[in-house]
Amino acid sequence: MTSTTPPRRTPVASPAAPMSPATDWTALLGGRTPTPVQAGAIPALLGGRDVITTARTGSGKTLAFLIPAAARGIGMSPVRGMRPEVLVVTPTRELAVQIRDVARELGMPAGRITGGITPGQTRSEATGKGLIAGTPGRLKDLINRQELSLAGLKYAVLDEADELLSLGFLRDVGDILRAAQTQRAGKGHLQIAMASATFPAEIRAVAERFMEQPQRIDIAPAAPSGEAGNAGDVLGGATGATHELLNTTRDDVLDLTAARAREALREPGGCVVIFSRTKHLVKRRAEKLGALLPQETVSALEGNMDQKKRERTMTLLREGRSRVLVATDIAGRGIDLPEVRLVIHMDVASTAEDHVHRSGRTARAGRPGTNLVLLIPEQRALWQGIRRKLPAPLHPPLTREEGQIDKAIQEKQGQGRGGQGGGRTMGQASGSAPRSGSSGHAQSDRPQGDRSGQRPRSGEQAARPGRRTDSSAPGTGAGRVGPQRARGRGRR
């Protein structure tokens, strides 16, 4: 759930008292025209309805769900202790911080509860705040300790709801909502809003268990005619972006990435976001790209980084001191960066939903942008499965090479067992679990203790003499794609 407001935002109006919801909420947009999701969701929420909305990233969902609270004076006043009136649950720490900051611009006393900060910092951050944004594991922990009270809660938002309601998060989110219902017993209906750029049908069914006759607002491109997919699935996307696919090789993918990033950053300003499957690959590739792009500061973002390093990385990017980010899918959901000119998928995403979220980092708020898939032969079978599930506006032009799949190569990567592949080994939010199988990288590229289950590969092609080799480039991997049984808690 992201705002269309640029990183250096013009402060929006802050009402000293509750406004007239039916007529005055547009003043909180600071003179901007409401986006379609805002025009649809805000009146419904002001009317007291529960709402589920699906819209592409960068479409203004953050303000769509904060403005109804601010316009009615909910969460606008300081409270005693940690007893918020508005609770926003997010899958990542970075998104919690971003939502807190947008809420403060609306005049709401807002704090965050996430991992990566000390108990004392948490109390200082969240005490007295009318709105709290947080990650599921930390919120549940403080609820169980009776430090966070939901007795005064009036409005709850599940941000990036498809991720929050995946099997890895479902128990924590359910426990939080049940605790709210129990603690505020006899105080009437708890209004709930859910939003995401993707909302698979099976997850939607789970979400609706916690809501009362929710109004659906789906602002997304239609699925391609005749393509595979479950009825009721909705995938939004960065429809304003230019979508490209380049066929390349394991040896050339790093040089090609550097060349395209260099081209995109020829003019001052802007940044490039490069997605890799694993934390280990992020570190290696950031170092190698730093050498290939000596004029640029190349930053890494992955779940094993401590909170100070993650916040420092985001500050460098937002201030323009770093213009290249190499990241796991932790950066794919909700993070608002200034003018992302180019998104590069060095690895194919594990799922169509992840591809949509990655792609949505560019072409935000009406700006131009390019979404580029670099496809190596080992990942062609995985890409075919992803492409079939993407809405038509997100399809790059079809190439002849991507359909030429060597079964022997795919079998080495685990495709011979029928899996879609793709391990979700990036950092997870507290309480999350990996949603798919292995990442398909060479065993030598994998840190000890990787849980992907990938078997060592045989017959690895040797790098050709005189060619730069990205020895960490991935294959496709084995295993199922989609929500899986929780296998332990990760760090997001």
Has residue 61 been placed in a domain? yes
Structure-block tokens of residue 338: 């200034």
> CATH no. for residue 366?
3.40.50.300
Residues 207 and 258 in one domain: no
Has residue 114 been placed in a domain? yes
What is the chain's pLDDT, residue by residue, as a tens digit (492 residues)?
Answer: 444 333 334 444 444 344 444 447 888 888 788 888 899 999 999 999 999 988 766 678 889 999 999 999 999 999 999 999 999 999 888 889 989 999 999 999 999 999 888 999 999 999 999 999 999 999 999 999 999 999 999 999 998 877 776 656 778 888 999 999 999 988 888 999 998 767 776 667 767 788 988 998 887 544 443 444 444 444 555 557 899 999 999 999 999 999 999 999 999 889 999 999 999 999 999 999 999 999 999 999 988 888 788 888 988 998 899 999 999 987 766 577 778 999 999 999 998 888 988 888 887 766 789 999 999 999 999 999 999 988 888 899 999 999 888 877 764 544 433 333 333 333 333 333 333 333 333 333 333 333 333 333 333 334 344 445 454 444 333 333 334 444 444 444
Has residue 363 been placed in a domain? yes
Instruction: Name residue, tokens 């970075």.
Output: 94
Task: Quote the CA–CA distance of 479 and 203 in Å, as a whole number.
Answer: 20
Has residue 483 been placed in a domain? no
Residues 160 and 255 in one domain: no
Instruction: Name residue, tokens 């898939």.
Output: 373
Residues 438 and 298 in one domain: yes
Alpha helices in 161-270 (DSSP H): 161-164, 167-183, 201-207, 253-264
How do beta strands 198-199 and 234-235 pair? Answer: antiparallel
Helix axes 307-318, 93-105, angle to 10 degrees: 50
Structure-block tokens of residue 71: 């316009």
Burial tier of 460 (Cβ tally within 10 Å: 0-12, 13-18, 19+): middle
Has residue 372 been placed in a domain? yes
Residues 290 and 149 in one domain: no
Query: ∠ at Cα 199 (166, 282), nearest 5°?
Result: 60
pTM: 0.58
Looking at residue 124, its pLDDT comes to 94
Has residue 302 been placed in a domain? yes
Burial tier of 447 (Cβ tally within 10 Å: 0-12, 13-18, 19+): exposed
Has residue 328 been placed in a domain? yes
Structure-block tokens of residue 53: 């909305």
Residues 163 and 77 in one domain: yes
Closest by alpha carbon to 328, among 338, 339, 313? 313
Residues 297 and 421 in one domain: yes
Has residue 298 been placed in a domain? yes
Range of the structural domain that residue 194 is part of: 21-219
Residues 335 and 373 in one domain: yes
Residues 254 and 214 in one domain: no
